[in-house]
Amino acid sequence: MLKVSNLCVNYGAIEAVRDLSFEVKAGQVVAIIGANGAGKSTTLNTIGGLISPASGKIELEGRDISGLRSDQIARLGLAQVPEGREVLATLTVEENLRLGAYIRNDHQAIEADLQSMFERFPILKTRRKQHAGLMSGGEQQMMVVARALMARPKLLTLDEPSMGLAPLIVNQIFEIITEIRAQGVTLLLVEQNARKALQVADYAYVLERGQLAYAAPAAELRDDPKIVAAYLGE
Amino acid sequence: MFWQQVVNAIWLGAVYSLFALGYTLIFGVLGILNLAHPSLYMWGAFIGLVCVTTLHLPIWLALPVAMLGSGILGILLDRIAFKPLRARHAPHLATLISSIGASIVLVNIAQGIFGAEVSRFPFDIFPVHVFNFGGVSVTLLQLTILGISLVIMVALRWLIMGTRQGQAMRAVAYNTVTAARLGIPVDQIIMQTFFIAGALAGAAGVLLGLAFNSISPFMGGPMNLKGLTVIVLGGLGNIEGAVIGGFILAFSEVMSVAYLSSDLRDAVSFVLLLIILLVRPNGLLGHSSTKRA
Ligand SMILES: Nc1ncnc2c1ncn2[C@@H]1O[C@H](COP(=O)(O)OP(=O)(O)OP(=O)(O)O)[C@@H](O)[C@H]1O
Ligand SMILES: [Mg+2]
């Protein structure tokens, strides 16, 4: 589905990502974990076409997307749940969800998807005519996930979807992630909550200062003493 | 006397609103003050005039053609004066100066083609018909101007609030990065916004050109301050605010000309602008509506 090869990304003189290679296979949930500033968001934003890489290759379903614009990449089937949510605060909840389906033209299916989002997230139905910015952080996060799903993406990237949320809401978010995966959407998940991420993921990569430090099935990393010491606390 | 002034203020206000809507739309979506907007207004008037005099089109066809023409000029303006700066993340001041430069160029080209003197529509272009309502007279032209302006404003509101394109436009206004992530072609939306703004300015140009029957390369000059006053009155980027602001300015102008002095027409905007900046710098309705829905 997604193949990243020898990716390097710089901000001016800062090398944020160096020689990063990894792969996400269709149907998999892949997690990228790492400390603050490790380059996780940079990686996702580069895949999403918002930053152009200094070098390296990004392939989505075998097609090189590293030179494409963000909106073009979205049309190829990538949906993003960005860090900090990026709610369109002045648009209504329903408008946010509809814009999630902006790239689609199958009007009837869009209406059906909208209804099923309202069923899955009843709070969004209650708030559908309200400005999205008026909802709580957890509700906004649900909406942004729903908005991304409205695109019927082939690949969904999530950048720290649990950030700043109460434990109960975090659990809900991870339940939803499990559901999405059951629907066959391929997921690339970036998390600081490594414990949770390794629970839902099939495969995981650990980033340290812009470089790949570990790559292994999530189940193995969960038991690796070095990972436990560095990322899983206690 | 008083009601006659009210009638005059209403149709004039509708055209001011039309003009200011394009101004405020660009501000709402791009956060820039397009000081070349009045030049598009002037060009709209000239395109309408050429349609009528050279191409012998009827006026009802000249209006949409002028809107199309000034809309395309709006797109060109963006491509030449704004887009290169946007790509370089230039500061607002650079954009402002660029828009002044573009305005000078547009005025000079018009002067080169049409000359500096005042041009007029042929007198038989629109049927002269005066209605009398208990001492208050309204011409068919004034009613038509009012009608057309209102129709365009309603259509604009529907476009922005009720269509997918409008949603995309508001998404771009709120956050271009988020919009792009959702698959919205930001650059294309900006182009459409400039087209719409240009078309609105062009419509205002034709309508006021008809109303005052006076078209010149410099007719945009006084509109700069008027437009600015209207959109500051309504709150920068605020669609409803621009409409209300247009009527407020027209009322103030018409009334001060009628009851104080006709020299005051252009001073009124300046006074209003000063007052509103001192008292309610965010405008009567507060903030941007393209940004705040
Ligand atoms: N716009 C920017 N300009 C300059 N440097 C940046 C920019 N964004 C990120 N960086 C730097 O690039 C490095 C990687 O940042 P990035 O945001 O990708 O980290 P992250 O792993 O997502 O961190 P976090 O867990 O805090 O979100 C950091 O050193 C950061 O300071
Ligand atoms: Mg991050």
Check if B178 contacts A (Cβ < 8 Å): yes
The domains found in chain A, sorted by start residue, are 2-86+154-232 (3.40.50.300)
The pLDDT score that the predictor gives to residue B287 is 57
Which of B175, B183, B293 is nearest residue A75 as measured by Cβ atoms? B183
Tell me which residues have their CB closer than 6 angstroms to ligand 1: A 11, 14, 16, 34, 36-42, 83, 192
| pLDDT of residue A218 exceeding 70 | yes
Q: Which pLDDT band holds residue B290 (cuts at 50, 70, 90)?
A: low
CA dihedral B52, B53, B55, B60 (to 10 degrees): 10
DSSP A232: S
Does the residue B194 lie in any domain? yes
Which ligand sits closest to the CA of A40?
1
Q: Rounded mean pLDDT of A185-200?
A: 91
Q: Which pLDDT band holds residue A23 (cuts at 50, 70, 90)?
A: very high
Share of chain A above pLDDT 70, in %: 99
Characterize B67-101 residue by residue with b for buried, 16 or more Cβ atoms within 10 angstroms of its Cβ, and e for exposed: bbbbbbbbbebbeebbbebbeeeeeeeebeebbee
Q: Rounded mean pLDDT of B65-85?
A: 97
| pLDDT of residue A28 exceeding 70 | yes
Question: Which tens digit of pLDDT belongs to each residue from B191-210?
Answer: 999 999 999 999 999 999 99
The pLDDT score that the predictor gives to residue B289 is 54
How many domains in chain B?
1
Does the residue B126 lie in any domain? no
The pLDDT score that the predictor gives to residue A20 is 95
Q: Do B183 and A98 touch (CB under 8 A)?
A: no
Interface of A with B (CB under 8 A): 48-50, 69-71, 74-75, 80, 82, 86, 88-92, 95, 98-100, 102-103, 131, 147, 151
Question: Which tens digit of pLDDT belongs to each residue from B126-136?
Answer: 888 899 988 89
Question: Which tens digit of pLDDT belongs to each residue from B184-196?
Answer: 999 999 999 999 9
Does the residue B160 lie in any domain? yes
Does the residue B285 lie in any domain? no
Does the residue B284 lie in any domain? no
| pLDDT of residue B124 exceeding 90 | no
The pLDDT score that the predictor gives to residue B293 is 42
Q: Which residues of A touch B177 (CB under 8 A)?
A: 50, 70, 86
Domain that holds residue B34: 2-120+134-218
C-alpha closest to that of B184 among A153, A220, A197, A151: A151
A68 Cβ contact list (under 8 Å, min separation 6): A49, A76
Does the residue B230 lie in any domain? no
Question: Which tens digit of pLDDT belongs to each residue from A87-109?
Answer: 999 999 999 999 999 999 999 99
CA distance A108 to A11: 43
Phi, psi of A187 (to 5 degrees): -125, 135
Does the residue B78 lie in any domain? yes
B175 to chain A nearest CA, in Å? 7
Tokens, residue B174: 């709120």
Does the residue B96 lie in any domain? yes
Q: Which residues of B touch A157 (CB under 8 A)?
A: none
